[in-house]
Amino acid sequence: MTSIADETSVKPGDLLGGKYRVERVLGAGGMGIVVAARHIELDTRFALKLMRTSAVRDADSVERFVREARAAVQLKGEHCVHVVDVGKLDDGAPYIVMELLVGRDLAALVAHEGARSATEAVDYILQACEGIAEAHALGIVHRDVKPQNLFVTKGVDGRPLVKVLDFGLAKTLAASKEMRALTQTTAVMGSPQYMSPEQMRASREVDARTDLWSLGVCLYELLVGKPPFDGMTVPELCSMVLKEPPSPMPSDIPRGLIKIVMRCLEKDPARRYATVAEFADALDAFATTSGAAERIHAVLEKPHDPFDSAGPARFDPNAETRTESSFDTTMKREGRRPKVWLAVALGVVVGSAVAIGIVGKVSGGNARPAAAAPGKVGVAIARSGAPVATPMVSSLPLVPPSSSTVASASSPIPIDAPPTRRAPRALPARRMTGPSLTAHPAPTASAPVLTPKTTEF
């Protein structure tokens, strides 16, 4: 398969990349052609973007084409077109495989049906803002936002769904010097009617606010039916964008909405909205549904995982070094873990041995009382039934004590003897760990008598 010279060079039935069967041509642009094709193994339809022969000869054009795929593949939200595959034809010309969308772009919508209502226009632009916000969160500036690149299809619920297309001119704010060299300072890239003044002056010296200008132009066109600047020639158009104010908007458009559009079209980027989230906040009052502004804020404020393959680390020349260093540190830390586990295992063994010894002592406790363990605390029963602290034996007898006396390892305390100190408040019956006490009615007294209860190990 050779490179595609124009839309007449590719025909239905052609097999691209050995797996995509062409069904029809969907459209053509200055650098490429888009066709609908079916994957012969998956039996699923996709949209393939192919490069023209003239563009393939230009190394910069090829690099921009590949960069479009790299940028778009990172975008996973529903308001951006999804890239699912890339490949090369027999002669090495690249192609991009995207989801196939059914619908039409906003330019075709306005051309066929005219200006839209304020609420409809705002709903479309807010959806586009969600897609642009995802790109901005990854450090990607689209630089070619226009109605032709805002495609209206249907979501799973049947409602209109706007998707942002064509990241061929997208740039990353963390781009390397080699990638920046692709766009010379004097190069003008984009569609002049939708380009910001700073993009006309120097395409590579722009930030996310250039997309806000373009979104404002799109909103203006949806409301009015034509763009705010419309010269007869490209130089005239550029002069209008750089120096002249936009054409006035009709008075039937809400005044607050006009102010929002005019702020987007400020010549000085510092006078525009600072972020797409701020722009969405202003538009939210004119939307038919709520939640778009909150979602946009969440996208922009979400912390990025540097180990996520779909992130700006792809464009950061130092990311590989930092990642390798991080893995080295992790491996060193994990190298110390066996020592920790060894200590834990030894502790378990020692603990088990101690437990076995205790069980043995408990089993032999019926034969004779064991010697008192110094420092331990036992329990004796006073006449009132309140517990009195005494030294506790290391093993408890398995038989209940007699009603007349309570055995103590060091000095048994007769029940008739007065307590040597003030007895503490009687404890309610409750579940205790280790050897515990259970209350039951005494055979000769009304007060309950507390007797030891064994605990199984």
Tens digits of residue pLDDT in 26-44: 887 767 889 999 999 999 9
**247 vs 321: which has the higher pLDDT:** 247
* N residues, the chain: 457
DSSP state of 148: G
What residues are paired with 52 via a beta bridge? 4
Residue 416 has pLDDT above 80, yes or no: no
Q: Are 362 and 396 in contact (CB under 8 A)?
A: yes
| Highest mean pLDDT: which range of 20-24, 359-363, 403-407, 411-415 | 20-24
**Residue 372 DSSP symbol:** B
Q: How much is the pLDDT for 68?
A: 78
E strand or H helix at 259, and its extent? helix 255-264
Residue 372 and residue 317: Cα distance in Å, rounded? 72
Structure tokens at 359: 């069980």
**pLDDT at position 218, please?**
98
Torsion-angle region of 437 (φ positive above 0: left; ψ -120 to 50: alpha; else: beta): beta
β-pairing, 378-381 with 387-390? antiparallel
Give the three-class secondary structure for 165: coil
Q: Which of 102, 100, 10, 105 lies closest to 50, judged by CA? A: 10
Whole-number Å distance between alpha carbons of 260 and 125: 12
pLDDT in tens, 44-95: 999 999 887 777 777 777 877 887 788 888 888 999 999 998 888 877 788 9
Output Rg (C-alpha) for the chain, integer angstroms: 39
Between the CA of residue 413 and those of 406, 452, 455, what are the distances in Å?
7, 17, 25
Distance CA 319, CA 309 (A): 11
Residue 86 has which token pair? 């890339």
Percent of the chain with pLDDT strictly greater than 70: 59
Residue 160 has pLDDT above 80, yes or no: yes
Q: Cα(269)–Cα(282) distance, rounded to whole angstroms?
A: 17
Say which residues have a Cβ less than 8 Å from residue 287's Cβ, sequence separation at least 6: 119, 122, 123, 126
Closest CA to 94 of 65, 61, 57, 58: 65
Active site residues: 144
| Least confident among 69-73, 93-97, 120-124, 368-372 | 368-372
User: Where does the pLDDT of residue 408 fall: very low under 50, low under 70, confident under 90, or very high at 90 and above?
Assistant: very low
Rounded to an integer, the average pLDDT of 283-296 is 92
Report the chain's mean pLDDT, rounded to a whole number.
Answer: 74
Q: Would you state the pLDDT for residue 57?
A: 74
Angle in degrees, CA 13, 15, 20, rounded to 5: 105
Other CB atoms within a 10 A radius of the CB of residue 298 amount to: 12
Cβ neighbours of residue 156 under 8 Å, at least 6 residues apart?
none
Mean pLDDT to the nearest integer, 281-286: 95
Predicted confidence band of residue 289 (pLDDT cuts 50, 70, 90): confident
What gap in Å lies between CA 114 and CA 210, rounded to an integer? 26
* pLDDT tens figures, 184-218: 433 445 688 999 999 998 767 789 999 999 999 99
Hey, how many other C-beta atoms are within 10 angstroms of the C-beta on 44?
12
Cα–Cα distance measured from residue 127 to residue 124, given in angstroms and rounded to the nearest whole number = 5
The CA-CA-CA angle for residues 173, 210, 256, to 5°, reads 135
Ranges 37-51, 97-111, 161-175: which has the least confidence:
161-175
- In angstroms, what CA-CA distances link 282 with 279, 292, 417? 5, 11, 86
More confident of the two residues 438 and 422 = 422
Distances (CA, A) of 392 to 28, 317, 356, 364, 372: 93, 70, 20, 17, 6
Whole-prediction pTM: 0.63
Q: H or E stretch including 299?
A: helix 292-301
Q: For 10-24, what is each residue's pLDDT tens digit?
A: 889 999 989 999 999
Residue 293 above 70 pLDDT? yes
The average pLDDT across 401-416 equals: 44
Buried/exposed code over 308-318 (b: 16+ C-beta within 10 A; e: otherwise) = eeebbbbbbee
Specify the CATH superfamily of domain 9-100. Answer: Phosphorylase Kinase; domain 1 (3.30.200.20)
Distance CA(10)–CA(364), nearest Å, equals 94
SS3 label, residue 159: coil
103-305 carries CATH number 1.10.510.10: yes
Domain boundaries, the chain: 9-100, 103-305
For residue 64, give the nearest of 119, 161, 144 by alpha carbon. 144
Q: How confident is the model at residue 177 (pLDDT cuts 50, 70, 90)?
A: very low
Beta bridge partners of 16: 20
pLDDT at 386 over 50: no
Confidence of residue 127 (pLDDT cuts 50, 70, 90): very high
Query: What percent of the chain has a predicted confidence (pLDDT) above 90?
Result: 42
pLDDT-derived band at 418 (thresholds 50, 70, 90) equals low
Site of tokens 């969440």: 298
